[in-house]
Structure 1
Amino acid sequence: MSKNKRPQIKNEEQYEALKDQGYSKEKAARIANTPDEKAGKKGGKAPAYEEWTKDELYKKAQKIGLSGISKLRKDELIAKLRSH
Protein backbone atom coordinates (compact mmCIF):
# COMPACT_ATOMS: atom_id res chain seq x y z
CA MET A 1 0.00 0.00 0.00
CA SER A 2 1.39 3.43 -0.88
CA LYS A 3 1.93 6.11 1.74
CA ASN A 4 -0.92 8.25 0.35
CA LYS A 5 -3.53 5.53 0.59
CA ARG A 6 -5.23 4.41 3.77
CA PRO A 7 -7.07 1.17 4.44
CA GLN A 8 -10.70 1.05 3.39
CA ILE A 9 -13.14 2.54 5.89
CA LYS A 10 -16.51 0.78 5.89
CA ASN A 11 -18.49 3.65 7.43
CA GLU A 12 -16.86 6.84 6.15
CA GLU A 13 -19.49 9.12 7.73
CA GLN A 14 -19.00 7.62 11.18
CA TYR A 15 -15.21 7.72 10.73
CA GLU A 16 -15.24 11.45 9.95
CA ALA A 17 -17.65 12.20 12.82
CA LEU A 18 -15.38 10.36 15.28
CA LYS A 19 -12.30 12.23 14.03
CA ASP A 20 -14.21 15.52 14.45
CA GLN A 21 -14.89 14.50 18.07
CA GLY A 22 -11.14 14.12 18.64
CA TYR A 23 -10.65 10.37 18.21
CA SER A 24 -7.36 9.27 16.68
CA LYS A 25 -7.39 8.00 13.10
CA GLU A 26 -6.70 4.48 14.34
CA LYS A 27 -9.47 4.40 16.93
CA ALA A 28 -11.97 6.06 14.58
CA ALA A 29 -11.16 3.46 11.91
CA ARG A 30 -11.56 0.56 14.34
CA ILE A 31 -14.98 1.82 15.45
CA ALA A 32 -16.15 2.66 11.93
CA ASN A 33 -15.11 -0.78 10.68
CA THR A 34 -16.85 -2.73 13.47
CA PRO A 35 -19.59 -4.93 12.03
CA ASP A 36 -23.10 -3.84 13.08
CA GLU A 37 -23.80 -7.12 14.86
CA LYS A 38 -20.83 -6.58 17.19
CA ALA A 39 -21.29 -2.86 17.83
CA GLY A 40 -22.18 -2.01 21.39
CA LYS A 41 -21.62 -5.49 22.81
CA LYS A 42 -19.54 -5.89 25.93
CA GLY A 43 -16.21 -7.52 25.33
CA GLY A 44 -13.94 -9.53 27.59
CA LYS A 45 -14.65 -11.38 30.78
CA ALA A 46 -13.12 -8.95 33.26
CA PRO A 47 -15.26 -8.15 36.30
CA ALA A 48 -16.83 -4.72 36.66
CA TYR A 49 -14.59 -2.08 38.22
CA GLU A 50 -16.86 -2.06 41.28
CA GLU A 51 -15.62 -5.59 42.04
CA TRP A 52 -11.96 -4.55 41.93
CA THR A 53 -10.05 -3.45 45.03
CA LYS A 54 -8.89 0.15 45.27
CA ASP A 55 -5.29 -1.06 44.92
CA GLU A 56 -6.13 -2.93 41.69
CA LEU A 57 -7.86 0.17 40.30
CA TYR A 58 -4.89 2.34 41.26
CA LYS A 59 -2.44 -0.01 39.53
CA LYS A 60 -4.60 -0.09 36.39
CA ALA A 61 -4.76 3.73 36.36
CA GLN A 62 -0.97 3.91 36.72
CA LYS A 63 -0.48 1.36 33.97
CA ILE A 64 -2.48 3.40 31.45
CA GLY A 65 -0.74 6.62 32.47
CA LEU A 66 -3.43 8.52 34.35
CA SER A 67 -2.16 11.35 36.53
CA GLY A 68 -3.52 12.90 39.72
CA ILE A 69 -4.80 9.61 41.08
CA SER A 70 -2.92 9.15 44.35
CA LYS A 71 -5.58 10.67 46.62
CA LEU A 72 -8.71 9.55 44.78
CA ARG A 73 -11.37 7.42 46.43
CA LYS A 74 -12.40 4.13 44.83
CA ASP A 75 -15.48 5.64 43.14
CA GLU A 76 -13.37 8.51 41.79
CA LEU A 77 -10.79 6.07 40.39
CA ILE A 78 -13.58 4.14 38.65
CA ALA A 79 -14.95 7.36 37.12
CA LYS A 80 -11.48 8.41 35.95
CA LEU A 81 -10.79 4.99 34.39
CA ARG A 82 -14.14 4.98 32.60
CA SER A 83 -13.69 8.48 31.22
CA HIS A 84 -10.20 7.78 29.92
Structure 2
Amino acid sequence: MGTDTAISTDPNRGQPKEKAAGPACAAARRGRSAVGMSGGKSPAYEDWPDAELHNRAEELDLHGSSKRNETNLLGKIRNHGRPTR
Protein backbone atom coordinates (compact mmCIF):
# COMPACT_ATOMS: atom_id res chain seq x y z
CA MET A 1 0.00 0.00 0.00
CA GLY A 2 1.38 3.39 -0.99
CA THR A 3 0.85 6.54 0.98
CA ASP A 4 -0.34 9.63 -0.79
CA THR A 5 0.37 11.79 2.25
CA ALA A 6 4.15 11.36 2.26
CA ILE A 7 5.97 14.67 2.59
CA SER A 8 8.57 15.20 -0.09
CA THR A 9 11.76 16.90 0.95
CA ASP A 10 14.01 19.32 -0.81
CA PRO A 11 17.30 17.42 -1.27
CA ASN A 12 19.30 20.64 -0.96
CA ARG A 13 18.04 21.57 2.49
CA GLY A 14 16.49 18.48 4.01
CA GLN A 15 13.31 20.39 4.86
CA PRO A 16 9.84 19.51 3.64
CA LYS A 17 9.14 21.51 0.49
CA GLU A 18 6.12 23.08 2.13
CA LYS A 19 8.28 24.42 4.95
CA ALA A 20 11.11 25.48 2.65
CA ALA A 21 8.66 27.41 0.48
CA GLY A 22 7.31 29.38 3.45
CA PRO A 23 9.72 32.34 3.33
CA ALA A 24 9.37 32.67 -0.45
CA CYS A 25 5.58 32.66 -0.22
CA ALA A 26 5.64 35.20 2.61
CA ALA A 27 7.91 37.45 0.55
CA ALA A 28 5.52 37.23 -2.38
CA ARG A 29 2.55 38.14 -0.16
CA ARG A 30 4.06 40.86 2.03
CA GLY A 31 7.16 42.01 0.15
CA ARG A 32 10.77 41.12 0.87
CA SER A 33 11.53 44.07 3.14
CA ALA A 34 8.55 43.27 5.39
CA VAL A 35 9.63 39.64 5.68
CA GLY A 36 13.20 40.69 6.47
CA MET A 37 12.03 43.03 9.21
CA SER A 38 10.19 40.19 10.95
CA GLY A 39 13.49 38.37 11.49
CA GLY A 40 15.46 37.90 14.70
CA LYS A 41 14.95 39.96 17.81
CA SER A 42 18.58 39.99 19.00
CA PRO A 43 20.39 43.30 19.15
CA ALA A 44 22.99 43.95 16.48
CA TYR A 45 26.44 42.55 17.22
CA GLU A 46 27.77 46.12 17.24
CA ASP A 47 25.69 46.71 20.38
CA TRP A 48 27.13 43.69 22.24
CA PRO A 49 29.78 44.28 24.92
CA ASP A 50 33.27 43.03 24.03
CA ALA A 51 33.10 40.20 26.58
CA GLU A 52 29.91 38.83 25.00
CA LEU A 53 31.43 39.01 21.52
CA HIS A 54 34.43 37.00 22.69
CA ASN A 55 32.12 34.48 24.40
CA ARG A 56 30.16 34.12 21.16
CA ALA A 57 33.40 33.59 19.24
CA GLU A 58 34.32 30.82 21.70
CA GLU A 59 30.89 29.19 21.22
CA LEU A 60 31.53 29.18 17.46
CA ASP A 61 35.03 27.77 18.02
CA LEU A 62 36.71 30.73 16.32
CA HIS A 63 40.37 30.58 17.24
CA GLY A 64 42.39 33.68 18.05
CA SER A 65 39.38 35.81 18.96
CA SER A 66 41.19 37.42 21.90
CA LYS A 67 43.75 38.93 19.51
CA ARG A 68 41.23 40.31 17.00
CA ASN A 69 39.97 43.86 16.96
CA GLU A 70 36.22 44.40 17.23
CA THR A 71 35.61 44.96 13.50
CA ASN A 72 37.53 41.84 12.51
CA LEU A 73 35.81 39.79 15.21
CA LEU A 74 32.35 40.95 14.06
CA GLY A 75 33.16 39.84 10.52
CA LYS A 76 34.38 36.44 11.68
CA ILE A 77 31.26 35.87 13.79
CA ARG A 78 28.91 36.90 11.00
CA ASN A 79 30.63 34.77 8.37
CA HIS A 80 31.57 31.75 10.50
CA GLY A 81 29.52 29.22 8.52
CA ARG A 82 30.04 30.59 5.04
CA PRO A 83 32.49 29.02 2.62
CA THR A 84 35.57 31.08 1.81
CA ARG A 85 36.23 32.19 -1.73
Length-normalised TM-score, structure 2:
0.57
2:14 alignment partner, one of 7, 29, 47 = 29
Distance 1:67 1:29, change over 3 A: same
- More helix by percentage: 2
Which of the pair has the greater relative contact order for Cα pairs under 8 Å at 6+ separation? 1
2:79 is aligned to 83
- How many Å separate the matches in 1 of 2:68 and 2:8? 42
Q: Within 2, Cα distance between the matches of 1:67 and 1:81?
A: 11
Aligned length: 62
Structure 2 distance, partners of 1:77, 1:56, is 11
| Identity across matched positions, percent | 31
Amino acid at match of 2:8: Q
- Equivalent in the alignment of 2:36: 41
The SS at the match of 1:67 is coil
The offset of 1:8, in angstroms, is 2.3
Structure 1 segments unaligned to the other structure (5+ residues)? 1-6, 16-27
TM-score (norm: length of structure 1)? 0.58
In structure 2, relative to structure 1, the CA distance for the partners of 1:34 and 1:65 (3 Å cut) is: farther
